[in-house]
Structure 1
């Protein structure tokens, strides 16, 4: 019987059970929820014709060529808001 190792916890799984074990399924679901929460926590705003987004630690700037946000800076703000990020950008 072929045995495959689960990439997350190295549990041996029989061929008929290939996939994530119970623990890894829970971790996978929690990971998806975490990624979803990151997207929900990244407000967007425009300033001087540029599109910005921010999270708890980082500030990102929209790249038209790549059609996505890219890291700009760690803002270091304890409770970032659009207003505080605008001040941060203007001080750069």
Structure 2
């Protein structure tokens, strides 16, 4: 199998899996339907993914990573604001 074919098939499985997960939910989705939609055999599917969970993980990982980055950024900003406010309050209530 040429590398271009592998990538093309991988993307097709991802696209079809995404649509089926979206339409039917994770629990009701099955590999047979995903493979049929992607035009691949279950054997070919297993050449790309360990199981349905691995396919789902690859689809949601970028979103989860973005959420984690955003959370960390806002958490850091919150602590920065807290430290600044604490410093300002100290100055306001300290006698000169």
TM-score by length of 1: 0.30
Structure whose residues are more often strand by fraction: 1
TM-score by length of 2: 0.29
Looking at CA atoms only, which structure, 1 or 2, has the larger radius of gyration? 2
1 or 2 for the larger relative contact order (CA 8 Å, sep ≥6)? Answer: 2
Structure whose residues are more often helix by fraction: 2
